[in-house]
Amino acid sequence: MKLDLSIITVCTNDKDRILEVLESTFSGTKDVTFEYIVSDNGSMDGSVEAIKEKFPQVKIVENGENVGFGAANNAGYSLAKGEYLLLLNPDMRIKPGSLKTILQWARKHTEVGVVSPKLIDQNGKLQENAKPRRFPGFMDQAAIVLKLPHIFPHILDTYLYKDFDPSKEQEVDSVRGSFMLIKKEILDTLGWAFDPRYFIWFEDVDTCREVQRLGYKVMYTPIIECVDYVGQTFKRLPTLQKQKWFTASMVKYFRKWEPWYKWMPIALLRPVGIALAWGNDVILKLKK
């Protein structure tokens, strides 16, 4: 039997959150045939054992180590049999009946390659850190590396869609990788869910750009809402490690999509960003 949906969630020591997203999905998914695939990045907190005990119907890919967000999603994609794929982070909560609604929407909009809904916080307000973004440009990414938004808070207004109207269904440049609904045949054309060159970060915007290159639209729709707790896994990591991964992916993104006179300066700025992150970690340690 062909499935409507394959849901893929990457787990990296997210025991409590992964159980909650699984519970919300299984209790809130009606009239949808689906499979749930968890791709585990070497969790040491009992995540895999807990999933097997409480949700034995879930398919688990045990990667054995942290192979990265992109590679872990690709491992799940390789097993997927659904007509659509939902790439869903472990810190999300699905509302009852919502997946059926957005699937019906996607089937009616055949020109759309990727769709993401309104992502809200636990209080029902728009999750500002999870809304769509414009494609990265040299100036805004250089500003991020150099931490300039701390001094000039409006410098990223264009990139971050500060004029975004969350009540309006609209075409966007990119949506966040925390909730991406994609038709599987599009990913089959690409050969992956996320370009394997990215360990973490920029893989979601890259896939959105690839989908548009193939002639499809990337859409935001408020037809459903999903609770997004945003980046809970990464809050446990030191700033330096996150900055290394982030800037490495930034350079790869610019090398893939932009001319040398844009990616090379980004590559040259990378050590500066890493040094600033290192200094931040040192200051935090001194304050403890």
Q: Write out the DSSP string of 222-276.
A: EEEEEEE---TTGGGS-HHHHHHHHHHHHHHHHHHHS-HHHHHHHHHHHHHHHHH
Cα 190 to Cα 184: distance, rounded to the nearest angstrom? 10
β pairing state of 179-183 and 82-88: antiparallel
Cα 181 to Cα 223: distance, rounded to the nearest angstrom? 13
Is residue 20 within 8 Å of residue 99, measured between CB atoms?
A: no
Which pLDDT does position 27 carry in this prediction? Answer: 85
Examine the domain organization and report whether 74 and 180 are in the same domain. Answer: yes
Examine the domain organization and report whether 171 and 37 are in the same domain. Answer: yes
Examine the domain organization and report whether 124 and 174 are in the same domain. Answer: yes
> pLDDT of 239-278, one tens digit each?
888 999 999 999 999 999 999 999 999 999 999 999 988 8
Examine the domain organization and report whether 195 and 255 are in the same domain. Answer: no
For residue 51, the enclosing domain spans 3-131+166-229
Examine the domain organization and report whether 126 and 261 are in the same domain. Answer: no
Domain boundary among 229, 250, 271: 229
Examine the domain organization and report whether 34 and 89 are in the same domain. Answer: yes
Which pLDDT does position 28 carry in this prediction? Answer: 80
C-alpha separations of 6 from 33, 184, 211, 245 in Å: 9, 9, 19, 28
Residues 6+ apart with CB under 8 A from 133: 159, 160, 161, 172, 173, 174, 176, 205
Examine the domain organization and report whether 181 and 262 are in the same domain. Answer: no
Query: Tokens representing 23?
Result: 């519970």
Domain boundary among 205, 229, 253: 229
Domain boundary among 184, 209, 229: 229
Residue with the two structure tokens 């019906």:
104
Which pLDDT does position 284 carry in this prediction? Answer: 73
Which pLDDT does position 235 carry in this prediction? Answer: 67
Rounded to the nearest integer, the mean pLDDT of the chain is 94
Examine the domain organization and report whether 39 and 149 are in the same domain. Answer: no
For 118, the enclosing helix (H) or strand (E) is strand 112-120
In the predicted model, residues of the chain with pLDDT beneath 70 are: 1, 231-236, 288
Query: Could you give the number of structural domains in the chain?
Result: 2
Examine the domain organization and report whether 23 and 111 are in the same domain. Answer: yes
Examine the domain organization and report whether 146 and 47 are in the same domain. Answer: no
Query: Which CATH number belongs to the domain containing residue 223 in this structure?
Result: 3.90.550.10
Examine the domain organization and report whether 217 and 269 are in the same domain. Answer: no
Examine the domain organization and report whether 198 and 245 are in the same domain. Answer: no
